[in-house]
Chains A and B, each alone.
Chain A
Amino acid sequence: KAGVTQTPRYLIKTRGQQVTLSCSPISGHRSVSWYQQTPGQGLQFLFEYFSETQRNKGNFPGRFSGRQFSNSRSEMNVSTLELGDSALYLCASSLGIAGGTGELFFGEGSRLTVL
């Protein structure tokens, strides 16, 4: 059974640009949640999608957005990139609502560097 797949694994952008990251969940999983991981802040919850609907959102500015498709694949977008957006972006999938079981299956992340 394939795990959670994130693309691209690495990318470099400059300030002001935008970026789109993709996440393919484990087959059959309907929830995809996104996290930002930085050395100083650890894991920060961005948002969760369940059945194409945003269920919950963390405390991030509106430049961070996402969506989920009918096949449960999800994308997140960051517009007007800032230096502080440099981080590892992780997505996780779960069978049901992420906040319910807590059993999240993480991908290996997309490492974004903003210059």
Chain B
Amino acid sequence: QQQVKQSPQSLIVQKGGISIINCAYENTAFDYFPWYQQFPGKGPALLIAIRPDVSEKKEGRFTISFNKSAKQFSLHIMDSQPGDSATYFCAAIGYDMRFGAGTRLTVKP
């Protein structure tokens, strides 16, 4: 059922570093690509999202880069902080919703 491939599965970054998570999708019917952040014991929360008519969207330290021709998009977290340690999910939204398997990010102080 998985139509969105997310990598890496886990990521360890030093405080102040850049965290990069990648996703690739197959179905061209998707037209909305959100990223969700999930802390242990909590449900996912929308972090940032992009539509395929733009190639990049930035909100604070978080940036989505989108490559429509390659069917790939990525999340960049600049100046990563220990508080960013969480699991991140990409998603592709169209008639239905497909999620990546998640990336567990650990930011070391």
Contacts and interface: CB of A to CB of B under 8 A. Distances in A.
A41 B44 contact: no
A102 B90 CA distance: 12
A45 B98 contact: yes
B2 A41 contact: yes
Interface in A67-115: 90, 92, 98-99, 101-109
Given A42-B101, A45-B96, A45-B98, A108 B41 contact: yes
Nearest to B50: A102
A106 B41 CA distance: 12
B66 interface: no
B49 A45 contact: no
Interface residues of A, number: 26
Contact of A33 (B44, B45, B97): B97
A51 to B, nearest CB: 17
A58 interface: yes
Contact of A107 (B43, B98, B101): B43
Given A90-B43, A99-B94, A103-B46, A45 B34 contact: no
A107 to B, nearest CB: 5
A45 B100 CA distance: 11
Interface in B76-109: 89, 91, 93-102
Contacts of A44: 1, 99
- Specify which of B34, B45, B96, B102 lies most central, judged by the most chain A CB atoms within 10 Å of its CB: B96
Given A44-B99, A59-B1, A99-B95, A108 B34 contact: no
A83 B2 CA distance: 21
B101 A99 contact: no
B30 to A, nearest CB: 10
Interface in A23-55: 33, 35, 40-45, 48
8 contacts: A4-B43, A40-B101, A43-B89, A45-B96, A56-B95, A90-B44, A102-B34, A104-B34
Given A42-B6, A90-B43, A104-B34, 11 more contacts: A35-B99, A43-B44, A43-B102, A44-B1, A56-B96, A98-B93, A99-B93, A99-B97, A102-B91, A102-B97, A104-B36
